[in-house]
Structure 1
Amino acid sequence: MPIPFIRPLGLALALVAGLARAETWPAADWQSGPAPSGAAVQAFERYAFPQRDDAERKGVRSDAVVVIRDGELIYEHYAGPTGAQTPHLTWSVSKSLLASVLGVAYGEQRFKLDEPVARYYPGFAGHPNVHLEDLLHWASGLAWQEDYEYAPLKSSVVAMLYTRGRGDMAAFAADHPLDAMPGKRFRYSSGDTNVLSAALRGMVGDAAYADYPWNALFEPLGIRSAVWETDAAGTYVGSSYSYLTARDLARVGLLMQRDGRWGERQLLPTDWVAFNRKPFADYQPDPAKPGEAVPGGHWWLNAQLAGAAKPWPDAPEDAFAALGHWGQALYVLPSQKLVIVRYADDRDGSYRHNDFLKLALAAFAPEMPQ
């Protein structure tokens, strides 16, 4: 019997389709895998879910943990007011969600990273040399102050979210002067993110903007719980105000764990995911802040940079995360095929990413071949 000739492109597509069929993907809900048990799981729970202090709000106060291994739900635990159907405030995890929405727009060729922000958001015309990739690296050069509780009277972010900037958050951020060359200094800024959110409107147009996060990201992933607040100008508060159930947020983690692919569809271009996971070239770790993750393209990385240790020494170097205020986290560990969502209400700094990840890996990582 003659062997049929398969053109290279057809062969590649067939291989991708075969891979997608061999993998486990969530449908309306996650497929459950074997639930781990034993001493390692108990040790993890003692750290993640100790006796909860709701009076003083001290210590580790996890609201939810969901663990996905190789596309299957293997562990979930809820506490406090949070349950499986609760859309939880993600705080700054929203920034990485916005990066994923922008990734879809990038794949649709709606913008390029080296374009000036003002091309898509005219309110940024006063800063013509700031480019989109600068905002994605939190390197706009704006004179921005991100402190919350520790310096509320001087805080740019408090003013933006709660007082004089809340009506039009992107315009408030754009009104800040530069105090550094764009693209050269990392300074974490919720203002940078909300300018990106306003620029997204210019990329997709007014008519498409309101539904774009759903059409671009949430609906293709089967996410049904998403809520995303806007400011009075109608701009999504990309820095802070998205809400999802833990199970739904895990879908974004699986998308990133599999390099932007969802089933047979390459939802995020692979070069976009590579950009998200590449350290900002001019980032300098602060020796006074060990454990601080390395900024990538609006995601946080466990990268080991010259002269510094990995931020989370007991986690693989390919681990990366979306992180938010008061302990919100979406951890992605590609080499372990793990996605871990943690929602929390941590208030006193007791929680440590490395401690959590070390125990989670002991409890949930697959046994690797020797």
Structure 2
Amino acid sequence: MKTTPFCLLLALFICFGCASEDEITAPDTINDSIYFPPLNSNEWQTIPISDLNWNENEVQPLLNFLEEKNTKSFIVLHNGKIVLEAYMNGHDETKLWYWASAGKTLTTAISGIAQEEGIININNKVSDYLGEGWTSAPLEKENLITCKNLLSMNSGLDDSLGDNVSKENLQYKADAGTRWAYHNVYKKMQDVVADASGETWNSYFETKLKNKIGMNGAWVALNEFNVYWSNTRSMARFGLMVYAKGKWETTQIVPERFLTEAVNTSQNINKSYGYLWWLNGKESYYLPSSQLEFNGNLIPNAPNDMYAALGKNDQKIYVVPSKKLVIVRMGDSASDVNFARSDFDNELWGKINALIN
């Protein structure tokens, strides 16, 4: 196991105020002091835990817990600077790992960029871009499905037929907007952007996002999925850009207004879901492969204003504006195979709270 050395820096105060349940926004002054690592360098400033008045005695218990739970890498950023960085279980800072469904939020970001450029409108029906007949649903039902429905997981298409997104496998279940179901059909947004831009998904992604924030990695087609792989710091770079309200230094990468929509409730069924982002602090939530509504917070131990990119086998990006935190976890499943939220989230936040409070 390896952790980064800590360097001295002026202490920063942590804002403990919680955003309202209706809307999650970062503090207005967030970009005034945020640190961004250089684009073409491995340099990344650090800040010692002692400067933040965190409980240093809880560092090792947290790292022990992570290692026991099959973690490969873990990073904590405070206002952009690295507080804690650890690699374990045979992993290191140069190795790539898959984002799984945490990478859905990359599609969200690109959709916002494409809309800002005027080549798509998420309120338009998907068939405006892919043509009629992209599903097997009756035409009048297919034409109800907007790009926003794909980003919000309420397309109404049948999620019980598996992850294949060919026309034959995309069948009508309910009218768009009336049923929330976690479904791989979101991937059609990548086709929408490619069609509208006249570029491949990969090239548009690289020029509009990846290169602008200094990420490494690549999309890899795996069976029915298009999965992003990168090193851990690249995942942290993306989380940092989102935390900074879509900016990288002085450049607006993802429109702030769109990003604010993305990290707030996007439909009236699963209150804990935005545009492919999971939201904490809401009154109820749904989980993948279920039509049951659960009462309470998605992750009770986490701050109410936290939003998260969650992927299979516990790939995580947590963003907490009120505490100026971005936290990344990559690795194998902490316990049982899961597709998004797991019991590990709440256990991990119990350990994080012991450190930061």
How does the TM-score come out when normalised to structure 2?
0.78
Determine if contact 1:94/1:240 at 8 Å carries over to the other structure: no
CA–CA distance in structure 2, aligned partners of residues 104 and 284 of structure 1: 25
Q: Helix, strand or coil for the counterpart of 1:32?
A: coil
Code of the residue aligned with 1:132 in structure 2: it is C
Distance in 2 (alpha carbons) for counterparts of 1:46 and 1:253: 24
Counterpart pick for 1:33 among 47, 58, 72: 47
Q: How does 1:281-296 map to 2 (within 5 A)?
A: 281-284=267-270, 294-296=272-274
Change over 3 Å in CA distance of 1:44–1:226 after alignment to 2: same
Q: CA deviation at 1:95?
A: 0.7
Distance (whole Å) between structure 2 residues aligned to residue 328 and residue 173 of structure 1: 30
Question: 1:48 touches 1:62 (CA, 8 Å); kept in 2?
Answer: yes
Residues 191 and 201 in structure 2, CA contact (< 8 A), matched pair in contact too: no
**Mapped pair 1:156 → 2:153:** no
In structure 2, the partner of 1:66 is 75
Q: CA deviation at 1:284?
A: 4.6
Asked if 2 retains the 8 angstrom alpha-carbon contact of 1:302 and 1:312, the reply is yes
Query: Is the Cα–Cα contact under 8 Å of residues 279 and 303 in structure 1 kept in the other structure?
Result: no
Deviation per CA, 1:98-155, whole angstroms, max 9, x where unpaired? 111212112212211210001111252641210010000111111112xxxxxxxxx6
Equivalences for residues 1-370 of structure 1 within 5 A: 20=31, 22-27=33-38, 28=41, 29-35=43-49, 38-50=56-68, 60-122=69-131, 124=134, 126=139, 127-145=142-160, 156-157=162-163, 160=164, 170=165, 172=166, 175-190=169-184, 192-206=185-199, 209-223=201-215, 225-230=216-221, 240-284=226-270, 294-305=272-283, 308-346=295-333, 348-349=335-336, 351-363=343-355, 365=356
Q: How many residues align?
A: 302
Structure 1 residue 242 displacement after superposition: 0.5
**What secondary structure does 1:317 align onto?**
coil
Give the CA deviation at 1:303.
2.9
Contact 2:281 2:303 in 1 (8 A): no
Q: Distance in 2 between matches of 1:246 and 1:92?
A: 15
- Structure 1 residues 47 and 188, CA gap change in structure 2 (3 angstroms): same
Deviation, 1:30, is: 1.8
One-letter amino acid of the counterpart of residue 178, structure 1: Y
Of the two, which has the highest radius of gyration?
Answer: 1
**Structure 1 contact 299–321 (Cα < 8 Å) conserved:** yes
| Structure 1 position 351, deviation (Å) | 4.9
> Structure 1 residue 180: deviation in Å?
0.8
Give the share of equivalent positions with the same residue, in percent.
23
| RMSD (Å), alpha carbons | 2.4
Kindly indicate whether the alpha-carbon contact (under 8 Å) linking 1:135 and 1:196 is maintained by their aligned counterparts in 2. Answer: yes
Structure 1: distance between partners of 2:201 and 2:85: 34
Counterpart CA distance in 2 for 1:173 and 1:261 is 37
**What's the CA shift for 1:20?**
5.0
Provide the TM-score with structure 1 as the length reference: 0.75
Structure 1 stretches (4+) deviating beyond 4 angstroms? 18-21
SS in 2 for 1:98: helix
Secondary structure of the corresponding residue to residue 65 of structure 2: helix
SS at match of 1:329: strand
5+ residue gaps, structure 2? 1-28, 285-293, 337-341
Q: Which residue of 1 aligns with 2:290?
A: none
Contact 2:303-2:320 at 8 Å conserved across structures: yes
Maintained 8 Å contact 2:122/2:148: yes
Relative distance call for 1:174 and 1:118 in structure 2 (3 A) is farther
